[in-house]
Structure 1
Amino acid sequence: MPTGIALRDPRQQLFEAAVRVLVRDGVTGLTSRAVTTEAGVAKGVLHRHFADFDAFLTELVLDRIALIEAQATALRDAAGTGTVADNLTRALMTFFEPVTVAIVVLVIARDELRTRLRAAGTTRLPLVGEGTAMIAGYLTAERDHGRIAPDADIAALAPTLIGTAQLLSTEQDGSPPQPSAVRNVVTTILASALP
């Protein structure tokens, strides 16, 4: 006789619970027990699907990286439409939503997680590196459309945009920066790169 309800997708359910705990309680509140309690499942469920808690966290970050890769594709596809500043402002606001900011802090705080992510082939600073690549890919596509100057230093512009947007996102009291503040940063940084 069954002794519980079937889980819809245990891995995804655990990821969603971890994100809620991380955003609400921070890195110190993110434990395997907190995740399983938030998900409403027995602690053994996490260990049935993952070798240990760091393996779970590694998969959580890789799952977020896959979302960023999808965002990068959509942003590159937007090249040549709208304005460069508007496209970048939306992309940076979406990228630095509270979950991403919290996961970046998590990656910085956990040595074993960084080690496992590097072994999985991520950038030196996971999420931030993929975000920088996303912005660089978009700027390159816009340069191909003639909307970014041919001599623009994309290798400098992309990390500058990501780093500044990250600072704006972490300086707030838990709320995202105003779009106007992000747009101001974008237009200032891009001023010399526009044809």
Structure 2
Amino acid sequence: MSPRGVAILDLRERLFDAAERVLAREGPAALTSRAITGEAACAKGLLHAHFDGLDEFIAELVLDRFARAARQTDGLPAQAGRATVAGNLVTVALTLLNSLDPAVIGLALTRPAASLRIRRALEAGSPGFAAIQGAIAAYLDSEQRLGRLPDTTDTSSIALALVGTVHHLLMTSWADVPDPREQAERLVAVLVGAGPGGAAATEDLP
């Protein structure tokens, strides 16, 4: 155990990971500060020593996962001209679906104080879906310049539709809806079709 007040390497990530494990194993009702620190093998009061209560902790967990998802899309524009447009979009959609636990977001939505913290942080510029949408739009613009998407393609609307769908899938219960990964793949097929750079293009450009 780590005594209260002693710095722990990567403490935030350690507590965040522990909270996700508790949620996955026991559900939202079991998520208490004691359960989190116990799962993380930390001193019982450590969470409250670094966060202003459970609401702030949950808000910071969601914001951290949003920021991580945004970082994962940073390199997407550099993928222009590689593989297929459809394949690249499916990959980023599945990455986003796997990087954010719907149970965590669902829990935040049931706690008004946590939801308010998240909204204010995003409004202040914390990385989130807006940054992800921007990266996807920039990638599609690059593909358009390479001729792998028609000049008439509305890249901003495709980015909005994809991010909006992923956001919706993350906000709904996976247990009661079709596989979100399959839904994401079908959406991408509709958005980019099987034209140049779409599902039918399987080889990298020279």
Q: Residue 98 of structure 1 contacts residue 174 of structure 1 at CA under 8 Å; is this kept in 2?
A: no
Residue 118 of structure 2 is matched in structure 1 by 117
Q: Work out whether 1:152 is the aligned partner of 2:174.
A: no
Matched to 1:21, the amino acid is: V
Which residue in the other structure is 1:57 paired with? Answer: 58
Q: Report SS of the residue matched to 1:115.
A: helix
CA contact (8 A) 2:28 2:107 kept: yes
Q: Which moved more, 1:40-49 or 1:178-187?
A: 178-187
Structure with the higher fraction of residues in helix conformation? 1
Match of 1:61, SS state, is helix
Deviates more, 1:19-28 or 1:49-58: 19-28
Q: 2:131 and 2:94 mapped to 1: Cα distance?
A: 15
Rounded Cα–Cα distance in structure 2 between residues aligned with 1:69 and 1:100: 15
Name the structure 2 match of 1:87: 88
Q: CA deviation at 1:161?
A: 2.0
The equivalences for 1:86-105 within 5 A come to 86-97=87-98, 99-105=100-106
Q: Which amino acid aligns with 1:99?
A: L
- Cα distance in 2 between the residues matched to 1:144 and 1:22: 44
- Given that 1:76 and 1:137 are in contact with CA atoms closer than 8 Å, whether structure 2 keeps it comes out as yes
Instruction: Decide whether the 8 Å contact of 1:68 with 1:130 is kept in 2.
Output: no
> Relative to 1, partners in 2 of residues 1:26 and 1:84: Cα closer, same or farther, differing over 3 Å?
farther
Q: CA deviation at 1:174?
A: 8.8
Residues 45 and 91 (structure 1), Cα distance of their counterparts in 2 relative to 1, 3 Å cut: same
The answer to whether the Cα contact below 8 Å between 1:161 and 1:186 also exists between their aligned partners in 2 is: yes
- Distance (whole Å) between structure 2 residues aligned to residue 146 and residue 40 of structure 1: 54
Q: CA deviation at 1:113?
A: 1.7
- Native 8 Å contact 1:65 1:130 kept in 2: no
Q: Percent identity?
A: 36
Q: Which string of whole-angstrom CA distances, capped at 9 and with x for unpartnered residues, describes residues 10-62 of structure 1?
A: 22210111122233334333322221121122221101111222222222222
Kindly indicate whether residue 184 of structure 2 is the aligned counterpart of residue 186 of structure 1: no
| Alignment match, 2:142 | 141
Residues 158-177 of structure 1: matches in 2 within 5 Å?
A: 158-165=159-166, 170=172, 172-173=174-175, 177=179
Letter in 2 for 1:158: A
Runs of 5+ unmatched residues, structure 2: 198-206
Comparing 145-154 with 15-24, greater Cα deviation is found at: 145-154
Q: Secondary structure at the match of 1:96?
A: helix
RMSD in angstroms over aligned alpha carbons?
A: 3.5
Q: List alignment gaps of at least 5 residues for structure 1.
A: none
CA 1:58/1:181 → structure 2, altered by over 3 Å: closer, same or farther?
closer
TM-score by length of 2: 0.73
Q: Distance in 2 between matches of 1:8 and 1:147?
A: 45
Partners of 2:164 and 2:141 in 1: CA distance: 18
Q: Which moved more, 1:154-163 or 1:85-94?
A: 154-163
Helix, strand or coil: the match of 1:173?
A: helix
SS at match of 1:141: helix
Provide the C-alpha distance between the structure 2 equivalents of 1:174 and 1:91, rounded to a whole number of angstroms: 23
Q: TM-score, structure 1 length as denominator?
A: 0.77
- Provide the aligned length of Structure 1 versus Structure 2: 193
